[in-house]
Chains A and B, each alone.
Chain A
Amino acid sequence: MEAPDIDLDTPSVTLDADPMLLKMGPAHPATHGTVRIIVELSGENIERADVQIGYLHRGFEKMCERGTWSQVFPYVDRCNYVSPLLNNVGYALACEKLLDLQVPLRCQYYRMMLGELARIADHLTCVSAMAMELGAFTPYLWMMKAREMVWDIFEEETGARLTHSFGRIGGMALPPTPGFTEHSQAVVTHVISVIGEAERLLLTNRIFLDRLENVGVMSADDAVSLGWTGPTLRASGIPYDVRKAHPYLRYGDVEFEVPVGVRGDCFDRFVVRLEEMRQSARIIAQCAERMPKDGPVNIDDPRIMLPAKDQVYDTIEGTIQHFKLVMEGIKLPAGEVYGYTEGGNGELGFYLVSDGSGTPHRVRIRPPSFYVTGGLESLITGQMIADVVPCFGSLNMIGGECDH
């Protein structure tokens, strides 16, 4: 073919240089969770970004004020819905902090095991979705299969795969099933092997690494200032984990490490979560050994726990107890408390204000992914549009928690 008869080095057309406004709207295949990111693009570079959340806002805090303290459990389930038991346990611990009471040892280990299984499920979802959005579909399916096995445990224990409402103030809804520890050990072993396989697929893949390394770097100081906690903060180099810094339940007795990243980029956030799953597996193994095989799971206080159903139907005391606890609610003492645990995405806090009646005056959930998503704007500014996908995926924004 002949060469064209024009000089290609000198531009003869000037193109419009206004930035382009692109709305990565709430329904977008690559942003899991409903969020709208309005980006101003110059070519492929993001000049400015505006992250708009709130599409899953359901008025959870207002609804809590219309029920009793126990009726909050279904609401907190639906906050971080990929690790609901961590929310249940976190809220129960906040209420118990206000009551100044400790649950029996068996319950503490039970809560830890269920919580760590939930954390594994959460991280499996995040990690595999991140990979899928970058084009790696296979690890997603493998990890979803592994997550199904975790959910099988939940189904056996709580009756539901996702929204369990299993926590109770002063204990759990039911004691562990007889095969719980064996079942969870088996599943966790399998999950670890699946993680290993996925790592082998992904972590030496040039394309995968290029898309994640040095993309979306958040410095440690900036992360702290933005209120980041959890895996995203640890990826930026700060070893803050509520389970280590302010141990609750039996976390002070078990051995585990807190993986910390180096660069604070998407890759670190990815690998920190993989490592955390391994640490969760360690915790589960230790709890499985230490959990007492029998004994009560719930405290024995009639002012807080519901009675057995045969007592309710046959004795007046059981009926009265059931009536008072359901109709008026557990009377948490007047005062306020901030109870915090390590949720799937960071410090999950509950600020409870009680006026002494059974109805909460205020239930504030401190959602870790709310603050983490608040940093998305500064994370993607200056990056390319294609980097939004791994950046957003690495933050693990859970819509239910972020928007409550």
Chain B
Amino acid sequence: MAQPALTQPGTDTVTPRIDSPWQIFWRRLWRRKPAIIGLALLALMITLSMAAPVFTSFDPEKIDLNQKFAPPLSQTASGQVMLFGGDSLGRDVFTRAIYGGQVSLKVGILAAGLGLLIGVGIGSVAGYYGGWIDNILMRLVDIFLSMPTVLLLITVVAIYGPLVPKGGEVYLIVVVVGLLGWPGPARLVRGEFLALKERDFVQAARSLGSRDPRIIFRHILPNVIGPIIVSATLAISGAILTEATLSYLGLGIQPPMPSWGNMILDGQAYLRNAWWVTTFPGLMACATTLALYSLGDGLREALDPRLKRQ
């Protein structure tokens, strides 16, 4: 596993210059162009989505049957330009795509966050304490890693989806994806803990009388941040894909609320006569997951001391 070079007090790594670890990290990341492009793309997507009202004057749920399947760049009666055209109900595809990004990114970030939170917690405890605690927790990890998660996911969402109040599907998906997404990070963090807890600086802290929580949070966790960030980027893109898949199976976010997944599903039937309805949200979803993926890749390399020479 990666041995992070960050903030490791007591290690004997000699740094030739007196750059701060962050500077080193940035320099290394900057050299990886795909990661930088990914970062920029991601920033763009987040800005577009979170500040959606700034970028569009349309209401994402406003139906205008006169603009049904209006091609990209066409103008409405009031002179508004439909950048990505109109969908089957004459709603502005661009507007829906950026508002849909809000939903998809929210699902992605919250679900990945929940999964990481649980995973890091369980992984830390298992790795730090070892013994029977580790044994039990790792069996639990085995169980979750062996389950066909897609099947469980569609089962739970199909059963509970119709019962949640309006708009609640977002959180249902977040919770379910999060609850099924923790074993990967848990295993990762446990591995790091197993390696780090025997290291001198941990032993030193312990002999100075630091209590377990302090050692876990102050001394070991900061050293695991790197791999956690990397797996977070992958978890977010995974959760975005999961939402899209659920929507494709008709189980995800319900209309009229837009999400990339339900927009792709919605436009799929009109691929032959109105390609823009499904293509643009599809491209935005792809771009976002691709951006996250490249960023995660770059981060991993930037954080991996073994790749220094390259």
- To the question of whether A and B form a pair in one complex, the answer is no
> Which residue numbers of B lie inside 8 Å of A, CB to CB?
none
A residues at B contact (CB < 8 Å): none
